[in-house]
A and B are shown apart, each in its own frame.
Chain A
Amino acid sequence: MSLTVANILVTGCLYTLIAIGLTMVYGMLRVLHIVHAGVFAVGAMVGLLVFQALGAGFWLSLLAAMLASGVMGVAIYHLGYRWVLDAPRGTPLIVSIGLFIAVQSLLERPFLLGPDASSFDAPTGLSALEIGDFAMTSIQVTIVLSTAVVGLAVWYILARTRLGLGWRALSEDMNMARSLGVAAERAIAVNMFVGSAMAGLAGVLIAVYENAVYAHMGSVVAYKAFVVVVLGGLGSVPGAVAAAFVLATVEIGISTWLGSFFPRDAIGFAVLILILLFMPTGLMGKRLD
């Protein structure tokens, strides 16, 4: 039981990290940001390269990965989305899917990750946790702590800073916010940077947790993260956090206590459909007109 609780907690944290960036991008740009999953994989790769090639420790590799992913996010906006924001909704989506396929194929080249999975067994230095019956390994503790720190930082930016106010204004009505003096380009760039850095963070954490970095590691993320975001209400950060933990609990709960009669991904989508039947805008979504 306690092992299952630890698993739910860790999985919920990982879903949270990936989903926050995604829902922030949707909230502001109204783009279904599929290539987020590519940023996630690139983050893991950069982390591994810095760890292996430069012999850096876990935390420095993590930082480098977040930085690289953040820059990649900003580049995706400037080279991709910025030019198609006024185009019909399908256009930025196609751009995003195309970029995702390109990133995955690139990662698969022999000069990057190649076809094989690589081991990423980096000790984080944090100690394992054992309180009575409840136990967590070192990397699990690292995942929970990192998510808590980063999650609080994002909450602080959103709720307490001018930048966060700008983000919220832009997602309410981009044109109105611009005409009232919000520095939109800068706010969007920072938004893309923060969201993408979180994806890179998640990439490294999952890679170390499962001891594998590979070109296709974003494949599941590409659709699973959308379940979380839609479940939470497109564009809602607190909704995404709530949905991440709801989904982790239901998925792991069902497969642990009822057995694997039903594929785990199918459980996620079944939950999504059920909740959308009764709450069409997700757990915390607002009506969009």
Chain B
Amino acid sequence: MSTRNPSRRAFIASLSAALVAGAAFAGAAAAAEKVKIGFFSPQTGFAASDGQAALHGAQIAVQFINGAGGVLGKEIELVSYDDASKPDQAANVAQKLTQSDKVTAAVSGSYSFLTRPAASIFQRAKTPLVTAYAVHPEITATGEYIFRTSVPAEVEGASAAWTISKLMKKKKVALVTMDNDAGVALADAFKRMADKAGLEIATEEKYSLQDKDLRPILNRIKGMGVDAIYANGFYAQAALLVNQRQELGMDTQIVGMEGFDSPKFLELAKPGAAEGTVITTALDRGSKNPVVQKFIAEYKKQFGLSADMVAASSFDAVTVLAEAIKRAGSTEADAIVKALHGIKGFDGVTTGPFQGFTEGGDVIKPVMIQQVKGDDFAHFAIIDDPEIMNLH
């Protein structure tokens, strides 16, 4: 016995040492444990350009938040996946984020047709999802866990009609509509507001994303004597549109949407072709809000590019989500949802100020109208009329 006692004592001693060490290790792990926020955007495929800008914007948001002490005493970890510009892949990513990564909440840095299939999966998994810049109305209608920090198509489309009719005093407009979820939703909203404002719609022409030749559409419009064209599309379509308009010798005013808000649009536009183009967007580059200027400067420093609407919107979605987690004091989904609804008059964002969320999870905030001047976008107007901001 006596021979075994010391060894047993040694065993117990080493066991307790291990337990203490283990507890210490667990304590360290708890301190290093992070709040996981999921993120998805197209890193490959035709939308990769916007998807990467979105990711960059989100990454800067995480740096700012962690630099200021994180949330709930922990750092935020961005768990990011590529949806490859494909709806089925977006759904897979949503499964992965909710089932295997078990993220606290997530942000969509993706387009409408990619966010829609993902949204229903987040809703079913009861994981809050904040959509950064997809405009389709159905997204937030998916359920109570789905939010959006950009204005929906209803507000953005109406703002364009308002700008053309009330600010530019034009009477007759032609629509050039991208034939997908976002394009059709924006055009429908535009038409409703045009009706109210007495703006005549001469024609609506649709094109698909595969179409590189918009000349037939422009040629048709040319003969109709319109004062303006309301066009929607992404930056590549925007460049095709202004280049081909120039080629056909037209000077009809073009009013576009936030998809045009990219330095790539200005780069792909031939000299002078984009000049004067007006867009409805979220980012006011000339804003006095220090968050805007800090974000723009940091973006330029890290990625060597001018920040655009997509990057700013993704920054905001992450920032607002983190703010909600802070206010909720918990990573519990229902508490976060409640906290999101409690956010009012928040201006820690680049595309604000956020007046708050509607019951349906859509943000109420002004729409920025910008105009191409030289090789950049400049302030044109801000639409904060409640009649438009509350169109939800």
A interface list, Cβ under 8 A from B:
3-4, 7, 11, 105, 108, 115-119, 121, 137, 206, 210-212, 214, 216, 219-220, 252, 255-257, 259-260, 263-265
Stretch in contact with the other chain, from B210-218, B319-327, B333-341, B375-383: B210-218
Q: Which of A11, A206, A265 contacts B210 (CB 8 A)?
A: A265
Residues of chain A contacted by B215 (CB below 8 angstroms): 3-4, 7, 252
A4 touches B210 (CB 8 A): no
Known A4-B216, A4-B219; judge A116-B243 contact (CB<8 A).
no
Given contacts A11-B213, A212-B239, A265-B208, contact A117 B219 (CB under 8 A): no
Given contacts A115-B52, A257-B220, 20 further A-B contacts (CB under 8 A): A7-B216, A108-B48, A115-B43, A117-B49, A117-B235, A117-B268, A119-B268, A137-B247, A206-B212, A210-B212, A210-B240, A220-B210, A252-B213, A252-B216, A255-B216, A255-B217, A256-B220, A259-B220, A260-B205, A265-B211
User: Across the two chains, which residue of chain B brings its CB closest to A108?
Assistant: B44
User: Closest CB of chain A to B221's CB: distance in Å?
Assistant: 10
Most buried by A among B52, B205, B267: B267
- B207:A264 contact, CB within 8 angstroms: yes
Whole-angstrom distance between the Cβ of B266 and the nearest chain A Cβ: 10
List chain A residues, Cβ under 8 A from B44: 105, 108, 115
A-B contact pairs, 28 of them (CB 8 A): A3-B215, A4-B216, A7-B216, A11-B213, A115-B43, A115-B48, A115-B52, A117-B268, A119-B267, A119-B268, A121-B270, A121-B271, A137-B247, A206-B212, A211-B269, A211-B270, A212-B239, A216-B45, A216-B46, A220-B212, A252-B215, A259-B203, A259-B205, A260-B206, A260-B217, A263-B206, A264-B208, A265-B210
Decide: A7 near B213, CB < 8 A? Known: A211-B243, A212-B239, A256-B219: yes
Within 8 A of A (CB), among B45-62: 45-46, 48-49, 51-52
Query: Smallest CB–CB gap between A126 and chain B, Å?
Result: 15
Residues of A within 8 A of B72 (CB): none
A212 to B207, CA, bound (A): 18
CA distance A9 to B313 in the complex (A): 43
Q: A210-B243, A216-B45 are in contact. Are A3 and B236 (CB under 8 A)?
A: no
Give the total of B residues in contact with A, Cβ under 8 Å: 36
Bound CA–CA A214/B212 (angstroms): 13
| B34 within 8 Å of A (CB atoms) | no
Q: How far is B179's CA from A115's CA once the two chains are assembled, in angstroms?
A: 23
Please indicate the chain B residues that have their CB under 8 angstroms from the CB of A105 in the complex: 44
B264 in the interface, Cβ–Cβ < 8 Å? yes
Nearest chain B CB to A96 CB, angstrom units? 21
| Complex interface: chain A residues within 8 A of B212 (CB) | 206, 210, 220
Give, as a whole number of angstroms, the nearest-CB distance from A145 to chain B.
Answer: 18
Q: Are A3 and B219 in contact, with the CB atoms below 8 A?
A: yes
Taking the closest CB of chain B, its distance from the CB of A218, in whole angstroms, is 12
Quick one: closest B residue to A216, CB to CB?
A: B46
* Contact indicator per residue, chain B 255-290, by CB within 8 Å of chain A (1) or not (0): 000000000100111110000000000000000000
Report Cα–Cα, A7/B211, bound state, in Å. Answer: 14
